[in-house]
Amino acid sequence: MNIMQIMKQAQNVQAKLKSTQEELAKMEIVGESAGGAVKVTCDGQGRFKSIKLSPEAINSENPSSVDADTIEMLEDIISAAINQASDKAAKEMEAKMKQATGGLNIPGLF
């Protein structure tokens, strides 16, 4: 195999990786607990997108006592905390990967 064939294969692999990453980013994967009272949506890359709480998740004995504003506020503050933790984790991973690769940028690693 000559160097041109190797380079072409590397370019094809890189294009496939990019396409796969884009496809995963568009996916919506939902996990739920408490019989569907709590639903969390992530993309195919595992990045948090949203959380939905039902009144039963907040007050199972009297769900009618929970107003929509309370639910929205809880969803917002939980989402903010998850996003902050995810951002911190991504930055830490990027720093560790740069350290491990000696600063070499390897597509698809981070």
109 pLDDT tier (thresholds 50, 70, 90): low
Q: 71 Cβ partners below 8 Å, 6+ apart?
A: 53, 54, 55, 58
Domain residue extents for the chain: 27-100
pLDDT tens across 70-96, in order?
999 999 999 999 999 999 998 998 888
The structure tokens listed for 24 are: 């995963």
Model pLDDT, residue 107: 61
Distance CA 4, CA 18 (A): 21
pLDDT tens across 31-55, in order?
999 999 999 999 999 999 999 999 9
CATH code of the domain made up of 27-100: 3.30.1310
